[in-house]
Amino acid sequence: NAGVMQNPRHLVRRRGQEARLRCSPMKGHSHVYWYRQLPEEGLKFMVYLQKENIIDESGMPKERFSAEFPKEGPSILRIQQVVRGDSAAYFCASSLGQNEKLFFGSGTQLSVL
């Protein structure tokens, strides 16, 4: 049973480009969480999704960031018109249900040039 899979592991973008980060949850998990880790900081909650629904997006920046978790396929975190301040490690986690144990992926390191 594969764990939470994130890809790519490393993503380099120039300012103004779009970044798409993918997360495939563990088999059977329908709850997905995205966290961001800025240099020298802890992980900060961004968004919590269930299949086809955004449950809590209180940690998402108001502009340029969006997330989805379609019925089929991975969850996608999309960052439009990236800026240097978006450079960070983005972690995805999944769980069987709310308040269940979270399993984390290895993260995507986004670098904006």
**Would you tell me which residues interact with another protein (CB under 8 A)?**
3-4, 6, 33, 35, 40-45, 48, 55-56, 58-59, 91, 93, 98-99, 101-107
Report the residue number, 17 or 106, with the smaller CB distance to another protein: 106
> What is the nearest approach in angstroms of another protein to the Cβ of residue 17?
26
> What is the nearest approach in angstroms of another protein to the Cβ of residue 105?
5
Report the residue number, 17 or 102, with the smaller CB distance to another protein: 102
- In 17-104 the beta strands, taken as DSSP E runs, fall at 19-24, 31-37, 43-50, 53-56, 65-68, 75-79, 88-95, 103-104
For residues 12 and 32, give the distance between their C-alpha atoms in angstroms, rounded to a whole number.
Answer: 24
Cis peptide bond upstream of 8, omega within 30: yes
